[in-house]
Chain A
Amino acid sequence: MAGKTGNFDALTVRFCLRNDVGIEDFGDRSLVLLCDSMRLREINALARKLLVFADGGRTLHEIVLRAAGDCGVPVQEMLHSIAEAMLQMERQGIVRRMVKLATERTEDMGEIKYLVNPDVSFRPEDDDGAILFNADSDSLEVINPTAAEIWSCLAAPCTQAQVVEHLCSVCDGASQGAVEKDVSEFLDSMVKKGFIGMVEKP
């Protein structure tokens, strides 16, 4: 999974708040409401500041510089923890990275990473699965719980192999071959429909 700062190719990735997010501040804690999935997350004061520093689209490098300045701490000392915090908020669906998403593979892509289309609203319902809705194209998909797990996993860019690894770890008894097939079919069909994109190099 893209949970390590080592997965960053550069510090040039831009982050912004997802547009279905609402925030209420309570002293040194804030509650984040993920409106599409109707979930609540609690974040601490540092994470709340990072959201302010991201300011609708700054790079990770710019965010680190501002945070280091604000705390009076050398940049190198903060780099790792801030990158980790941004990645975690990405996985939680609070921020998203601003990347160009391709629907077709190009020569220079190397190992493909997939990412959900930020315009698609994800509506999980109980444990039954979820509805995906793209208001721009007025298109709707109903997905089962396994596909919903893949979707959640792709809040941050992942390779197909990373998705398979994640699914095998959460689905007891599923054979690797069957999971690989399911993931591959789901990704193909979602990329074709524009619900998932392939991350282009910045």
Chain B
Amino acid sequence: MTHAADTCDGLGESLPAPIVADLPEGVPALRTFYLYLSTGCNLHCRHCWITPTFVNGKPSPGECIDFELLKAAVAEAKPMGLSSVKLTGGEPVLHPEFLKISDFLTAENLRITMETNATLVDQDMARHLRETNFSFIAASLDSPDPGQHDRIRGVKGAFDAAVRGLSALVAAGFKPQIIMSVDRENVHQIEALIELAMSLGAGSVKFNPVVASGRGAEVHRKGQGLSFDELLEMTHRVRGPLQDRYSIYLSAMVPPALLTVRELLRHGGSDGGCCHVRNILGILGTGEMALCGIGRNIPELCFGMLGKDSLRRVWIEHPTLRRMRQDLAGQLPGVCGDCLHAGRCQTHCLAMNYEATGRLVNVSPLCAEAERRGQFPSTRRISCGREHPAA
């Protein structure tokens, strides 16, 4: 299961302390694999940004990461710093060896997080996962109204199945995060969804805007996507008055420059929202090594094939990764080059930057729009007021 605007938000994504990695100078540790275990999904969400296979209306696991190749990749990556994996998809649970893979990753002492639609999680599976290294699980619910959730997810009964899965996870001792993919159709249901999440025993709720990528492009073409103003309004509402009202942790990510000081303080004073992409490698169901799930849509962001290409060589030498590291270390483009948050934000979501501009290291589309409208906050510019010469 893959979410719209599936960017890191620090929650459950915080990377472990770097361990000594055997790598040439200037090459960052490879700390996390994003494992897109299967290319298929049992749901047909209208907004999914990486368009998993759903053959003839039937769920299909599509292509799945070969377990033996995965073992070899882990063995190759551990000396480079690998300490955690995120399981996602498609729907990761559809991988025929899902439980074996979970056990293997646990035996390798890797911290495991997962994004799932939860519809295939039963009590036995939830208990099993609880005994392994799973530290964080996020699952999707797009509406408190079962009919509407089913319409958004493209499969009748998806809501009931997701609630069953979530309840199993909670019963096993997890505090799952619920992720709501938000567009104009369900934006008014945010508060009701928070209440549902609390009644289910979730640990947090994250609100992802549907992005104009993959199937989400159609949502935007139909005028159903959130506009810039609506997206900011939703973010400030979630992180302001709604967070004041509800004790459950709420998250809605935009680049940190667009958050108020109060909203930043909510995250313990950190500016959040950074993409740890310098330390992440995606592995797709096909076995391709990629920047992240974006490799499903954009072939040039795939860097090689497990079993054929050396993972170590790809990580150290692939020109796209080298260029990305150089660009991130140098003067950042546009307003990012003058932004107080750039050190941590690193231009926010590189995959979305690429979709929007054809460049990984570029001003996030939201900050670019804020700047175009003259709404980029002056207090977040390094040069704030410096154009006034000192006497």
Contact = CB atoms under 8 A, between A and B. Distances in A.
- Do A and B bind? yes
Interface stretch (B33-41, B245-253, B258-266): B258-266
A98 B313 CA distance: 52
Contact of B340 (A17, A20, A133, A144): A133
A85 interface: no
Nearest to B343: A138
Given A36-B384, A36-B385, A38-B379, A140 B390 contact: no
A58 B386 CA distance: 24
A102 interface: no
Main secondary structure of the interface of B (DSSP, over half): loop
A51 B391 contact: yes
Interface in B372-391: 377-380, 382, 384-386, 388-391
A33 B388 contact: yes
B384 A17 contact: no
Given A38-B379, A129-B261, A142 B269 contact: yes
A191 to B, nearest CB: 17
B278 interface: no
Nearest to A48: B391
A61 interface: no
Interface stretch (A73-81, A120-128, A151-159, A194-202): A120-128
A194 to B, nearest CB: 15
Contacts of B377: 125
A36 B382 CA distance: 9
A168 interface: no
A128 B261 contact: yes
Contacts of A51: 391
Bin the interface of chain B by size.
Answer: 20 to 34
A133 B384 CA distance: 11
Nearest to B386: A35
A47 interface: no
A150 interface: no
A162 interface: no
Interface centre among B343, B389, B390 (most CB of A within 10 A): B390
A121 B382 CA distance: 9
A128 B271 contact: no
A22 interface: yes
Interface residues of A, number: 28
B111 interface: no
B101 to A, nearest CB: 39
Given A38-B385, A142-B271, A125 B379 contact: yes
Contacts of B269: 141-143
B384 A38 contact: yes
A133 B260 CA distance: 15
Contacts of B264: 131, 142
A51 B391 CA distance: 9
Contacts of B270: 142
Contact of A135 (B260, B344, B380, B382): B382
B254 to A, nearest CB: 16
A130 interface: yes
Nearest to B378: A38
Given A128-B262, A131-B379, A140-B271, 14 more contacts: A17-B390, A22-B388, A22-B389, A23-B390, A35-B385, A126-B260, A126-B261, A129-B262, A131-B264, A133-B340, A133-B382, A142-B261, A143-B269, A144-B265
8 contacts: A21-B390, A123-B379, A128-B260, A139-B343, A140-B343, A143-B265, A143-B269, A144-B265
